[in-house]
Amino acid sequence: MREIPPGGEGKITVSPSTRNRRGKLAKTVTVESNDPKQPRFQLKIHGEVRVLADFELSYLNLNNVLKNSNEKRLVKLVGEKVSDLEIKELISSAPETLLVKATKAEGGEPAVEVTFKAGAEKQHFQGMITAKTNLEKPDQLTLRVRANVTDDISALPAQLYFTQFAQEKLQRPRVVRIRSLSEQPFKINKVEDPKGAVKAEFRKVGDMWQLEANLVGNPDPPEGKLLVYTDSKKQPVVEVPYRVRMLRKATPRRVDRTKPDSPSGERPRLPMVRGKPGRLPLKIAPKKPRVRPPT
């Protein structure tokens, strides 16, 4: 462990991640040491992330797509060098399902037309589009695409996640929207969970239905399905899966009071630098009393 002598200096290297970030950036790094006067202090980092060229979206989420249908989107390219950018090649990870074409937006900006062709089977699709450019940097751009191929009456989100606390704690209900992708009218008759761990109320909101689901039990195993019964002959039951994560109360940190390493008699916390794993912790050596030479 590297130590800093009294009156000495040390360096901390911090590399903030700029992935999927644009514009102003603000980060805080907490530094802990064994200095009894200032055991903790914060380093505040401010900056601005410049985008030379990139897709305007970090990923394209098409959400629910009806089986045997096509979903089309236009994704623009943005950045400081977008006026000089030319798309030399477009590569799709699934060329038969995810079709791409270079085009222009209404304002004249370069763009990519994305067409997703849903099949006859229900699936969770994930793909990626790579655009090779004429720029030296960045020479290529990537766009991730997600889609959930489903039946006409579908739920958004397609799956629910709950947190079961070890101690009683209020949590907000999970909201699910049930709608017909083909805009066919339907009615929800009832909603139930065979395990009895989730209760849901439903009501009509515009052209869709809204569920408010609450976790009231602890299912074993920690997963199940909400069954939504409708008056549709093609889809009398719509299933909404859910999962429950158990969150236990944190175990208090043990303190060794037999070693008087601090004025209070408590063993100080191990020094560490938060925000960048793998860095050496900062340790400040206690000041040594000055001894005057005998006169």
Q: What is the pLDDT of residues 2-40, one digit of tens each?
A: 677 777 787 878 777 766 666 677 888 888 888 788 888
Q: Which amino acid is at 264?
A: S
Among 262, 63, 39, CA closest to 157: 63
Q: What is the mean pLDDT of residues 54-72?
A: 94
* pLDDT above 90 (res 214): yes
* pLDDT above 60 (res 97): yes
Band the pLDDT of 160: cuts 50, 70, 90: very high
Q: What is the mean pLDDT of residues 90-98?
A: 96
Give the DSSP letter string of the chain. Answer: --EE-TT-----------TT--EEEEEEEEEE-S-SS-SEEEEEEEEEE--SSEESSSEEEEEEEETT-EEEEEEEEESTTGGG--EEEEEESSTTTEEEEEEE-TTS-EEEEEEEE--SS-EEEEEEEEEEESSSSS-EEEEEEEEEEE-SEEEESSSEEEEEESS----PPEEEEEEETT-----EEEEE-TTSSEEEEEEEETTEEEEEEEE-S--SSSEEEEEEEES-SS-SEEEEEEEEEEEPPPPPPP--TTS--STTSPPPPPP-BTTSTTPPPPEEPPPPPP-PPP-
Among 76, 139, 156, CA closest to 111: 76
pLDDT at residue number 109: 87
pLDDT at residue number 272: 46
Band the pLDDT of 195: cuts 50, 70, 90: very high
pLDDT at residue number 266: 47
pLDDT per position as a tens digit, 163-192 = 877 555 567 899 999 999 999 999 999 999
CA gap 191, 242 in Å, rounded? 14
Query: Chain-wide mean pLDDT for the chain?
Result: 83
Residue 69, CB half-sphere, CA atoms under 13 Å: how many? 16
pLDDT at residue number 228: 97
* pLDDT above 90 (res 89): yes
Residue 152, CB half-sphere, CA atoms under 13 Å: how many? 12
Band the pLDDT of 254: cuts 50, 70, 90: low
CA gap 3, 203 in Å, rounded? 64
CA gap 152, 154 in Å, rounded? 6
pLDDT at residue number 274: 47
* pLDDT above 80 (res 1): no
Question: Is this prediction's pTM over 0.85?
Answer: no
Which domains can be identified in the chain, with CATH numbers? 54-150 (2.60.40.60), 153-247 (2.60.40.10)
Q: What is the mean pLDDT of residues 52-80?
A: 93
Q: What is the mean pLDDT of residues 250-270?
A: 49
Whether omega before 185 lies within 30 degrees of 0, making that bond cis, reads no
More confident residue, 260 or 181: 181
Kind of pairing between the strands at 174-180 and 188-192: unpaired
* pLDDT above 50 (res 280): no
pLDDT at residue number 252: 53
Sheet arrangement for strand 237-247: 160-165, 237-247, 223-230, 188-192
* Adjacent-strand bridge partners of 48: 24
